[in-house]
Amino acid sequence: MKLIECPRDAMQGWHRLISTDEKVMYLNALLKVGFHTLDFGSFVSPKAIPQMADTAEVISRLEMNGSKSKLLAIVANQRGAEEAVVFDEIAYLGYPFSISETFQLRNTNKSIRESLELLDTLQELCIKNSKQLVVYISMGFGNPYGDPYDAAVALKWVDELVQRDIQIISLADTVGIADPGIISQLFSTLIPAYPSVEFGAHFHSAPHNWEEKVATAYNQGCRRFDSAIKGIGGCPMAKDELVGNLATERLLDFSVQRHEQLGLDFTALQTALQIAESIFY
């Protein structure tokens, strides 16, 4: 399994401004744990997401030596991508591609078709700068806005991405409404249909229903999962109350039960957990 730890997702909507020093301390602790990837920050409008305004400064203070974790930064437009690709420390650029027209406009101020055009530009920038593009299918399991949705809609847009040679696609349960039936249908269809593509799951979930979602995706072959320590976070652009992320602690328990070899430093993890307690209060 590939574990993608998402402190950016936890911090971006937090009710108090987290200082740069706190972010650096927390991220440096997480870099010692051994997660495959840290979704650590974003290059987006500071007016939209003020919590991430210091991402460039944070990078300069990260202790990457000796860490096997790779860094992923979220971008929402060409300007943000151009800012991100200059950093050698960043391996992945992530783009939230919503298959809900309402949310795509709300989140990135672009239509779905405009986002497809942007993805072509982002892919070119990534290739030119030795990065890899990760596309998140926002509202991938449904939406609360009444926009058209069923499995066929999701599969159509995934095919659009595959035709653009996107190699990593993560299906996002942006507002925590994914039904296990649709999770099973999508992963059981996509994983065998596109063997060269790495499919992941980014579940926002309440504490009572996370395991069924994870188990369903896992049983259909998904081995890439996003999570955040303490289950904090969610998308502040989606609606007024954040649903919460899949908690890393619970995902680790799930992984151990499935005898997955994670290769994590659990002493370093305990340190990161203690820092999280001091930040998220």
Among candidates 229, 233, 227, which has minimal Cα distance to 272? 229
Identify the pLDDT of residue 147: 95
Q: How high does pLDDT run on average in the chain?
A: 94
As a whole number, mean pLDDT of residues 84-97 equals: 98
- The yes-or-no verdict on residue 62 having pLDDT over 80 is yes
- The yes-or-no verdict on residue 58 having pLDDT over 60 is yes
pLDDT tens digits, residue range 229-276? 999 986 666 554 556 899 999 999 999 999 999 999 999 999 999 999
pLDDT tens digits, residue range 110-169? 999 999 999 999 999 999 999 999 999 999 999 999 999 999 999 999 999 999 999 999
**What share of the chain has pLDDT > 90, as a percent?**
90
Identify the pLDDT of residue 243: 67
Identify the pLDDT of residue 237: 60
Q: What is the pTM of this model?
A: 0.94
Identify the pLDDT of residue 18: 98
Confidence of residue 208 (pLDDT cuts 50, 70, 90): confident
- The yes-or-no verdict on residue 73 having pLDDT over 80 is yes
- The yes-or-no verdict on residue 66 having pLDDT over 50 is yes
As a whole number, mean pLDDT of residues 59-70 equals: 97
As a whole number, mean pLDDT of residues 101-105 equals: 94
